Structure 1
Amino acid sequence: MTAVDELRARLRGVIAPTVTPFAEDGELWFPGVRRVIDFLVEADVTAIIPGDLIGECLSLTLDERRALIAESVQAVGGRMAVVGNAADASLQNAIDLGRFSRKADVDLIKLGLPYPYTPAAATMLDMLRRIDDAVDMPFLVESSDALTIPLEVIASLCERPNFVGVEEWGSDIGRMDRLFSEFSRRLVVLPSGEAALLFLCLRGAPGLIAAEANFAPRFMSEFLGASQRRDLDRALALFGRRRRYRDLFREGLARGVPLFTPYAKAAMAILGLPVGPPRPPLAPLTEGETARLREVLRQEFDLLVGGA
């Protein structure tokens, strides 16, 4: 088994795209980073992605993204895999972040399309090849409804030994079925989002990527286990409970606002793991929103919460 094969085998179970803790002055809060990682290790999370979308990558400077990657690797200390987020609208920034991630000893990097652009398939492939040529380490790519990576691009990338997986958070069932049928023996197919999470976990995905893993990792592990056992009733029941949490901010998601970040941060604070507020333009929850969230955590996730 090659090193890349071993890495594919590790990308299973619950993977957490971690929130980014901030101090009261808005600066990165590294003690909070370490606390979050220790919590996730204890909950048997298998990998983290620091500085992803839920980690407010669009509000971080390049220096902060580098510092967050380095601190996360050090805090993990080999206890789980670390995915360095090198996705960036700038090709050179993506290369720089990838090279830094490699020097920081991450296990692999994550690449994406140059948000908010949607380049032609040939341009996508050229960009991803350039990054791989420059960085030369294992990578996975992210595909979504807004920035979909065509299956023919994925097929071409399979010629590259460093290409190990796809994070899929689209909603096209036909595409997801083809993706899994045609590539799951060669790649690790990891669902995220909503439709992809349900379909691909039931289809046999070895793991999942979920924002809720920041505060309810064992709940997400139970959902994944039920899906893998083909316990449809249990999997659908758990998925419905997760959906009721996401209903709290679904309207914001429809407007393109990543409200899963302030909600995840508020949930962690309620559960005794404060990570500070989100950075503008995101805002903390109101008292009313926090009260509704507290009730959902109690009723749907069976989490012990403090306060009224």
Structure 2
Amino acid sequence: TALITPFREDGALDWSALDAQIDFQLESPVTAIVPGGSIGEFTAMSLDERRNMIARCVSRIDGKLLVVAGTADENPATALELTRDAAKLGVDAVMVKLPHYFGLMPDEAFWFFQALDDVGCPFVVYNNPSTTRHDLSGDTLERVSTLEHFVALKEAAVSTTHFYERLHRFGGRFPVIAGAEDCVFFALLAGAPACMTATAAFSPSFMRAMYEAVQRSDLGRARELHCRLWEFRRLLRRRAGTGHPAYVTYTKAAMEILGLPAGPPRPPLLPLDEPERQVLRRVLVDTMGLGERGSFSDHLLPRERRID
């Protein structure tokens, strides 16, 4: 699960809401949490806030789930510093993307990952071209895969062909994790061992149901669940297509609607207005079949719309 970062109305980090979110994930069918990723608004947080949030997660999880801390930063030195701090705090791994303000040449990209490897902490490479405007080449990943502490790739390119090419080339050597909800069904069907997405922040049971449907080869059911998830994604895409991080505002609004504390996004991002919240509520409850606190029972969801 990629965690959101809960803020109060005055903009301060809401520690009690963070604790509640962690406890919710501990009660849920997930194997890892990722604090400080894109959905966690890390670009709007100070370095001290990010350190303290990682420390809080490690302490409260207490080994019951894997903690994969987001330590990306536009300043490579800051990313390396935060990675060192996260390792000392006891995370299981970190997740990083390339600094992207300046487009990097392949040797420059590899230099960054090599410097990260020197820290000595297991790391997941996060490839998210829609955010970074940079798509890691297969040849660069080939070089990164030789590094001692590289453990997995989170692939968030929104292309089934792209994902399958990654899986075909590297799937037998390291985990290629599905990171784009728009095509998560196809990624799991192709053989992705896991998915790491934001919807699990408000309904891990829904995402687990889709994963398990694929694992038991109930593909009609898995596709039906993905069609329902797609209705949520369609709301985001109206804004995300312009470069707006709609996944932050919609995920936080979804959590609040379902009774999970999230708070507003940090300015300049604005919360959803009431008319859009009502549209979102209908999608969450009527289309996705979610209940209080994101509860979801696959066997209770009507199957009339199942696609076989």
TM over 0.5: yes
Deviation at 1:182, TM superposition (A): 2.1
Structure 1 residue 144 corresponds to structure 2 residue 128: yes
Q: Which deviates the most, 93-102 or 166-175?
A: 166-175
Separation of aligned partners in 1, 2:42 and 2:103: 19
On the 8 A contact 2:202/2:254 being kept in 1, the answer is yes
Q: Secondary structure at the match of 1:141?
A: strand
Of 24, 32, 43, the residue aligned with 1:47 is 32
Aligned to 2:288: 301
Aligned to 2:257: 270
Residues 148-163 of structure 1 mapped to structure 2, 5 A cutoff: 148-163=135-150
On the 8 A contact 1:21/1:28 being kept in 2, the answer is yes
Separation of aligned partners in 1, 2:60 and 2:209: 26
Residues 34-183 of structure 1 mapped to structure 2, 5 A cutoff: 34-133=19-118, 135-145=119-129, 146-183=133-170
Q: Secondary structure at the match of 2:195?
A: strand
On the 8 A contact 1:188/1:206 being kept in 2, the answer is yes
Aligned to 1:12: none
Q: Deviations over 1:93-122 (max 9, x none)?
A: 011010010011000011111133331111
The TM-score, its normalising length taken from structure 1, stands at: 0.90
Deviation at 1:252, TM superposition (A): 0.9
Q: Secondary structure at the match of 1:84?
A: strand
Structure 1 residue 26 corresponds to structure 2 residue 11: yes
Separation of aligned partners in 2, 1:183 and 1:222: 26
Separation of aligned partners in 2, 1:208 and 1:249: 19
Aligned to 1:286: 273
On the 8 A contact 1:297/1:305 being kept in 2, the answer is no
Seen in structure 2, the aligned counterparts of structure 1 residues 238 and 288 have a Cα distance that, compared at 3 Å, is same
On the 8 A contact 1:173/1:199 being kept in 2, the answer is yes
Percent sequence identity over aligned pairs: 36
Deviation at 1:58, TM superposition (A): 1.1
Aligned to 2:184: 197
Separation of aligned partners in 2, 1:274 and 1:127: 36
Of 198, 204, 207, the residue aligned with 2:194 is 207
Separation of aligned partners in 1, 2:91 and 2:8: 25
Separation of aligned partners in 1, 2:290 and 2:208: 14
- Which letter does structure 1 place at the counterpart of 2:125? V
Q: Deviations over 1:52-74 (max 9, x none)?
A: 11111111111111111111111
On the 8 A contact 2:36/2:71 being kept in 1, the answer is no
- Which letter does structure 2 place at the counterpart of 1:180? L
Deviation at 1:305, TM superposition (A): 5.1
Q: Secondary structure at the match of 1:67?
A: helix
Deviation at 1:211, TM superposition (A): 0.6
Deviation at 1:178, TM superposition (A): 2.4
What's the RMSD between the two structures over aligned residues? 1.5
Aligned residues: 290
On the 8 A contact 1:170/1:195 being kept in 2, the answer is no
Q: Deviations over 1:146-203 (max 9, x none)?
A: 3211111111112122111000010343332221122122211111123442322111
The TM-score, its normalising length taken from structure 2, stands at: 0.90
On the 8 A contact 1:215/1:264 being kept in 2, the answer is yes
Separation of aligned partners in 1, 2:167 and 2:138: 11
Q: Secondary structure at the match of 2:19?
A: helix
Q: Secondary structure at the match of 1:208?
A: coil
Aligned to 1:225: 212
Q: Which deviates the most, 210-219 or 199-208?
A: 199-208
- Which letter does structure 1 place at the counterpart of 2:37? D
- Which letter does structure 2 place at the counterpart of 1:96? E
Structure 1 residue 242 corresponds to structure 2 residue 229: yes
On the 8 A contact 1:169/1:197 being kept in 2, the answer is no
Structure 1 residue 17 corresponds to structure 2 residue 39: no
Q: Secondary structure at the match of 1:89?
A: coil
